[in-house]
Amino acid sequence: MDAYVQKHELGDGDPPKTHDTLHTALIPIVFIPGVMGTRLDIPGGSDWDPDYTPSMAGWLACSARAARIDLSVTLKPNATVIKALSNYTAGKDAQGEIKKDRELLEVAARFGKKTVDEAIALYEDRGWGGLCWEFYGPILCYLEKHFNHPNHNAMGIHPVYAYGYDWRKSNAVSAEGLVKRVDAILAKWPGAKKVLIVTHSMGGLVARYACAKLGLSSKAVGVVHVVQPSNGAIPAYRRFFTGCVEQFDNDGDWKLNNILGDTWWKYLAYLSGLPGPMQLMPNHRYHLGGSNGLTLSTASWLKTQPQVELSNIYSVYEGTQTPGIVRQESELPFAGWALGPISAIWDSEILPELRKRIKEAQTFHTELADGAHPKTYALFSNGLQTDDFVDWTKTEDSDRFLQKKSGDGTVPSKSGACLGLKGLIESTQFSGGAHLGHSEVFQNAKVNDKVHQYVYALLASESP
């Protein structure tokens, strides 16, 4: 049976609310962020800390060679998730915001943490410090208060945890870490038998793999996916030819994405060391499935002459001529000192690593396929200018890389809707309002309300 899909145009009234029937079961909530959303301590390299403005400025200013080395999971494999909540004057001050949040402090007191310092320690122990606060602070606080504060759910016990992970690694590796994290959480709460999972973006791939391939479904009541690129996203492919540039990457996050390469050759060099982000390219299932009556992005997303077989897309990616992404040293521009160290290892290191990443992506998505938790809900955005179609019969980039108002600025609605997933109960589309871009979606109160509704539905499904 196809999942039920509903549309919600912001401005047409609030989304329907689930009746707040008190639910007394002990079920922790685990939130999983997306790509680049976890703060990382990279030994011997530059930390990845979106909360700290100088850290990100350093990434923008460093050489292509240095960025490639520090980003590469092969060359810098031992990154760890930062534990401390940010407390910066030049950046985000997560600690300061928590200290000013009366309701959140009252929730901490309910868990036995009476002082401000104890509350900070509580949320650091829950893993909140590992996540980019600008992106994820709003949803962490929202869930913690709405499912634990007496004003919202006096009898519920649903402590909110965050699972930060090394987003550079394969999502299969991160899924293994998620299973261990869930086991550790359940061990802390002897009365808890299951958790409930909420994801953002690539975190959805992590959760799905853990559920479908590693047995996590038996330890989770269900999953709520938010703007998940369920079958990939076209920007991850297009950037192998344009780099990350404001002309196309105009979802408000282009400066952050720009760190992954503002030219095609930087992007290729960096992605060759990043298994996780490589798994965000459109997969062999992207073109499948119907729209269930919604106006979604284009299914057959890649046009060539002669036409390639989209179900065999990884063989296409392995090509050394367009539409393949294994671009040859002869295509490199003359870029002086910036390119020199990269061109010297292009054939010997970068392209072999890239081919390995393509194979890993193929293996990951072949194993995952349409797998998901048997109780799955999804939310996605539509109506923002998003990569929709690639036409290699055109000669100009503006014609070749077609964008439409058919996604959230990063993930096309066809992929975000998650319509082909096993176990999908309902998918909700949001459009027509502020803060619906891919990274900022949790700044939209009505999206958070819908997450709240879906979490309640899953909790209710576990009621005696």
Task: Please compute the mean of the pLDDT values over residues 97-110 and round it to a whole number.
Answer: 97
Task: Please compute the mean of the pLDDT values over residues 110-134 and round it to a whole number.
Answer: 97
Task: Please compute the mean of the pLDDT values over residues 256-270 and round it to a whole number.
Answer: 88
Per the model's pLDDT, the better-predicted residue between 253 and 175 turns out to be 175
Task: Please compute the mean of the pLDDT values over residues 65-87 and round it to a whole number.
Answer: 96
Per the model's pLDDT, the better-predicted residue between 266 and 463 turns out to be 266
pLDDT of 199 > 90? The answer is yes
SS3 314: helix
Q: What is the pLDDT of residue 4?
A: 47
Q: What is the pLDDT of residue 2?
A: 44
Residue 390's DSSP bridge partners are 302, 401
pTM (two decimals):
0.94
Per residue in 410-428, pLDDT tens?
999 999 999 999 999 999 9
**Please, what is the average pLDDT of the chain?**
91
Check: CB of residue 86 under 8 Å from CB of residue 92: yes
What is the C-alpha separation between 102 and 94, in angstroms, rounded?
Answer: 14
Burial of 318 (0-12, 13-18, 19+ CB in 10 A): middle
Per residue in 139-154, pLDDT tens?
999 999 999 998 886 5
What is the C-alpha separation between 147 and 176, in angstroms, rounded?
Answer: 27
Q: What is the pLDDT of residue 61?
A: 87
**Residue-range domain boundaries for the chain:** 4-461
Check: CB of residue 369 under 8 Å from CB of residue 209: no
pLDDT of 174 > 50? The answer is yes
Query: With bands split at pLDDT 50, 70 and 90, how would you rate the model's confidence at 253?
Result: low
Task: Provide CATH code, domain 4-461.
Answer: 3.40.50
User: Residue 256 phi/psi, 5° resolution?
Assistant: -65, -45
pLDDT of 373 > 80? The answer is yes
